[in-house]
Chain A
Amino acid sequence: MTALQKKSENPVAHLSAQDVEDIGRRLDAIRQEVADSRGAADAAYIRKVIDVQRKIELASRAVLLLSKFPPAWFVGTAGLSVAKILENMEIGHNILHGQWDWMRDPKIHSTTWEWDMASPAEQWKHSHNELHHTYTNVIGKDNDLGYGIMRVDEDQKWIPLYLLQPLWNFVNACFFEYGIAAYDLELGKNLATPERRADPGFRARGKAVLRKIRKQATKDYVVHPLLSGPSFLPTLTANFVANVVRNVWSHSVIMCGHFPEGVETYEKTSIEGETRGEWYLRQMLGSANISGSKAMHVMTGNLSHQVEHHLFPDLPSNRYAEIAPKVRAIFDEYGLRYHTASLPRQVGSAWHKVFRLSLPNGWMAATTPKNAPQQVAKLVQLTTAKPKVRRAMQREWEQAATAA
């Protein structure tokens, strides 16, 4: 991706300032309509989901007490994976967004909720609700883009280490909850200097994360295995697998939200003095939806309606499906691209980008089955060359690509 401001064809160039503000007003109206009609049916929905999730979890953990029998292991692991996914996605993520605060139920409230995840709710709310949702897709501001650990933009300088980023992305997917905790802590930045490492605020937050991780690990890897007695080891592996399944699933869903090819990113300076209409526009073009069944929507925590979620992060998730056609109508009317595709396509597209950017700019586009051996040879040459030589080679390469 290249920041929208640097693209030769700007997808919003045809909109006047008035158009942008009109879009904002119409989206505000959609928001108000839902806010005004929140009621008993919505409350019943979230209570039902919580109820079902707890029953699935209890049943799965009960089945896992006998996990030394393979069928019990499989059923229990599958059930626990589903329960953990529901808990993180449709329940935890959305409650922590304040989507259900209007119910004034202290048991289902963003200020009191804690979730089954390495990052404590308090820290995640800050980095997610405040930073990611405010600075969505702004390069250098939105950590969710992943530039801290990956090359996610053509303008980011390529170094040979990035060749490993598909592998790194996969590892991050498997242990995603720890990745999230690390980035809520801004671990990379805060471990960089002795002063930052010694900062009392950082240390307190770090301790809170470690405490949370210890509790989570004790639950899944000590207490429940011990309760299983002779099934100690199978229960431990079952819990591990359920955590990995949940991590890979949520990583995939989140990659689909902002990472597929064609989703726009923004330069830091572009959001200075941004109006509400412009903020909406950035969310519209910076998010991608996943199409699919009702069950898929629930399992993604309705983040399959990423566009609607980013426009209205605090509206109850069960209402996104209902407003999606109205939102889409606005896209169509103003000639904007409503980014939506099936789950396999979006995941594929996001991974395509991970691979593409792991390689030097232009390499993938220039490679065909016929010239593949030469291209690989060039890549090896580039990787092993000294930095100065490498940079010169890359420049040459890019110029060739532009000329072509």
Chain B
Amino acid sequence: MTTSVPRRPGLRARLGDRVLSLVEAATTPLLPTDYLDVFAPLRSGADLRGRVVEIRPETADAATLVIRPGRGWREHTPGQYVRLGVDVDGVRQWRAYSVTSDRTRTDGCLTVTVKAIPDGVVSNHLVREMRPGTVVQLDRATGDFTLPQERPEKALFVTAGSGITPVMGMLRNHLDELGDVVLVHSAPRREDVVFGAELRELAAAGGLRLVERHTGTDGLLKPAELAELVPDLAERTTWACGPVGMLEALEEHWAAEGIAERLVTERFRPRVLVTGEGGTVTFGKTGTTVEADGATPILDAAEAAGVLMPSGCRMGICYGCVLPLREGAVRDLRNGELTTAAPGDGVLVQTCVSAAAGPCDIDH
């Protein structure tokens, strides 16, 4: 066993702490950062934010946002998503979007591409209302929907709608490292294909084989048809991103073929399978009590009652909304799984996909 002697912090660090505490004494009850934020919201050391510098329309209902991130940004791995905090009608809303930018961009900006979904509060705002110059809240990029270090010889991407976005991130950065690439993409019509022109160019240049499926005329893609379109799909590593229904069909098919491990999927929205029983949710620290029904995520119920909740993707993938359940039971809306906690347990639950299943005491 080795023991490590805790090292005394260096002189510079100690001096830095001294200076910081002196500055804090001059700004209390606020923090020095509160004043610095007035002038330099994107500086290093600030909460991570970004400034939207350009909004480029992609299709009638999709647009790409070019964002200059603050100094705290760390380069993403293509395929990952970033959480974006945007004020819509004055209310801070967090959503996750795939990063689509080419990492070799020289201006240091990143891009996300957003498709407006019907009744989507944030997506419609980003596509139609967002103006250059706006500061948005950011988080560092995260997610496992990425290419392995050892690039596959043969790859298949199956996407639909805005599901193309993480894949576009991969293609823009790594297409030349991949051998044989097939992309099967579904969109209602030809003009609805996000990045349509760019994809067709890539295909024309021989970089990949592109199969466009226009569901408005051709209908939804079935796994059996996919197998016809890509006869060697069993030999390929497949990444799929799109609506829940499509992903489920693909997962079933791959499982039936016994090649489930060759399929990687990314969901943009949770699939709600069950509802909980509902119950009274108590937030001990904020002193709020909320009556939540069994179909409403605790996150939504709490926000509606004015509780300031941590939140993220709102689909159960980013863990930005996790809080300790001190006591009670919650049901995972995606699979019906029940999580219970006895006093003192402090089980961490994802509030965005968990509904109350009886009285709950949440440590928040």
Q: Are A223 and B308 touching (Cβ within 8 A)?
A: no
With A115-B29, A116-B29, A223-B26 already in contact, the answer to whether A40 and B38 are too (CB < 8 A) is: no
Instruction: Kindly list chain A residues whose C-beta atoms are within 8 Å of the C-beta of B22.
Output: 223
Q: Are B90 and A39 touching (Cβ within 8 A)?
A: yes
Q: Are A102 and B306 touching (Cβ within 8 A)?
A: yes
Instruction: Kindly list chain B residues whose C-beta atoms are within 8 Å of the C-beta of A104.
Output: 91-93, 303, 308-309
Which interface residue of B26, B27, B286 has the most chain A CB atoms within 10 A? B26
In the complex, what distance in Å separates the CA atom of A212 from the CA atom of B26? Answer: 13
Interface residues of A in 201-259 (CB under 8 A from B): 212, 215-216, 218-219, 222-224, 227
Closest to A219 in B: B28
With A39-B90, A104-B92 already in contact, the answer to whether A98 and B25 are too (CB < 8 A) is: no
Q: Are B308 and A111 touching (Cβ within 8 A)?
A: yes
In the complex, what distance in Å separates the CA atom of A163 from the CA atom of B92? Answer: 54
Q: Does A199 contact B (CB under 8 A)?
A: no
Q: Does A309 contact B (CB under 8 A)?
A: no
Instruction: Kindly list chain A residues whose C-beta atoms are within 8 Å of the C-beta of B30.
Output: 114
Q: Are A101 and B306 touching (Cβ within 8 A)?
A: yes
Interface flags, B35-67, vs A, CB<8A=1, else 0: 100100000000000000000000000000000
Closest to A316 in B: B90
Interface flags, A41-64, vs B, CB<8A=1, else 0: 111100000010011001000000
Which interface residue of A43, A216, A222 has the most chain B CB atoms within 10 A? A43
Q: Does A151 contact B (CB under 8 A)?
A: no
Q: Are A106 and B89 touching (Cβ within 8 A)?
A: no
In the complex, what distance in Å separates the CA atom of A116 from the CA atom of B26? Answer: 12
* CB pairs A–B below 8 angstroms (6 shown): A54-B38, A107-B34, A212-B29, A216-B29, A219-B27, A223-B22
In the complex, what distance in Å separates the CA atom of A42 from the CA atom of B34? Answer: 20
Q: Are A101 and B308 touching (Cβ within 8 A)?
A: yes
Closest to A42 in B: B90
Interface residues of B in 66-103 (CB under 8 A from A): 87, 89-93
Instruction: Kindly list chain B residues whose C-beta atoms are within 8 Å of the C-beta of A106.
Output: 308
Q: Are B28 and A215 touching (Cβ within 8 A)?
A: yes
Closest to B288 in A: A111
In the complex, what distance in Å separates the CA atom of A107 from the CA atom of B47? Answer: 11
With A54-B34, A54-B38, A215-B25 already in contact, the answer to whether A98 and B306 are too (CB < 8 A) is: yes
Min Cβ gap B297→A in Å is 15
Which of the four size classes fits the interface of chain B? 20 to 34
Q: Are A39 and B35 touching (Cβ within 8 A)?
A: no
Q: Are B28 and A216 touching (Cβ within 8 A)?
A: yes
In the complex, what distance in Å separates the CA atom of A51 from the CA atom of B309? Answer: 25
Residues of A within 8 A of B (CB): 38-44, 51, 54-55, 58, 98, 101-107, 109, 111-112, 114-116, 212, 215-216, 218-219, 222-224, 227
In the complex, what distance in Å separates the CA atom of A115 from the CA atom of B25? Answer: 14
Instruction: Kindly list chain A residues whose C-beta atoms are within 8 Å of the C-beta of B303.
Output: 104
With A55-B38, A219-B26, A227-B26 already in contact, the answer to whether A111 and B286 are too (CB < 8 A) is: yes
A224: contacting residue among B26, B35, B91, CB under 8 A: B26
Interface flags, B302-320, vs A, CB<8A=1, else 0: 0100101100000000000
Min Cβ gap B95→A in Å is 13
In the complex, what distance in Å separates the CA atom of A42 from the CA atom of B92? Answer: 13
B87: contacting residue among A103, A116, A219, CB under 8 A: A103
In the complex, what distance in Å separates the CA atom of A54 from the CA atom of B89? Answer: 24
In the complex, what distance in Å separates the CA atom of A106 from the CA atom of B29? Answer: 16
Instruction: Kindly list chain A residues whose C-beta atoms are within 8 Å of the C-beta of B89.
Output: 38-40
In the complex, what distance in Å separates the CA atom of A54 from the CA atom of B30? Answer: 10
Instruction: Kindly list chain A residues whose C-beta atoms are within 8 Å of the C-beta of B35.
Output: 54, 58
In the complex, what distance in Å separates the CA atom of A41 from the CA atom of B91? Answer: 11
Q: Are A102 and B25 touching (Cβ within 8 A)?
A: no
In the complex, what distance in Å separates the CA atom of A54 from the CA atom of B33? Answer: 12
Instruction: Kindly list chain B residues whose C-beta atoms are within 8 Å of the C-beta of A101.
Output: 306, 308
Q: Are A102 and B90 touching (Cβ within 8 A)?
A: yes
In the complex, what distance in Å separates the CA atom of A105 from the CA atom of B94? Answer: 11
Closest to A92 in B: B29
In the complex, what distance in Å separates the CA atom of A41 from the CA atom of B87? Answer: 11
With A219-B25, A223-B26, A227-B26 already in contact, the answer to whether A40 and B87 are too (CB < 8 A) is: yes
B90: contacting residue among A40, A111, A114, CB under 8 A: A40
Instruction: Kindly list chain A residues whose C-beta atoms are within 8 Å of the C-beta of B306.
Output: 98, 101-102
Closest to A40 in B: B90
Instruction: Kindly list chain A residues whose C-beta atoms are within 8 Å of the C-beta of B90.
Output: 38-44, 102-103
In the complex, what distance in Å separates the CA atom of A42 from the CA atom of B89? Answer: 9
In the complex, what distance in Å separates the CA atom of A104 from the CA atom of B92? Answer: 5
In the complex, what distance in Å separates the CA atom of A112 from the CA atom of B28? Answer: 14
Q: Are A103 and B28 touching (Cβ within 8 A)?
A: no
Closest to A45 in B: B90
Instruction: Kindly list chain B residues whose C-beta atoms are within 8 Å of the C-beta of A54.
Output: 34-35, 38
In the complex, what distance in Å separates the CA atom of A39 from the CA atom of B35? Answer: 25
B91: contacting residue among A51, A102, A115, CB under 8 A: A102
Closest to A61 in B: B26
With A54-B34, A54-B38, A58-B35 already in contact, the answer to whether A105 and B26 are too (CB < 8 A) is: no
Closest to B92 in A: A104
Min Cβ gap A31→B in Å is 14
Instruction: Kindly list chain A residues whose C-beta atoms are within 8 Å of the C-beta of B91.
Output: 43, 102-104
Instruction: Kindly list chain A residues whose C-beta atoms are within 8 Å of the C-beta of B27.
Output: 219
5 new A-B contacts at CB < 8 Å, known A39-B90, A103-B90, A216-B28: A98-B306, A103-B92, A105-B92, A215-B25, A223-B26
Closest to A113 in B: B29
Min Cβ gap B239→A in Å is 34
Closest to B309 in A: A104
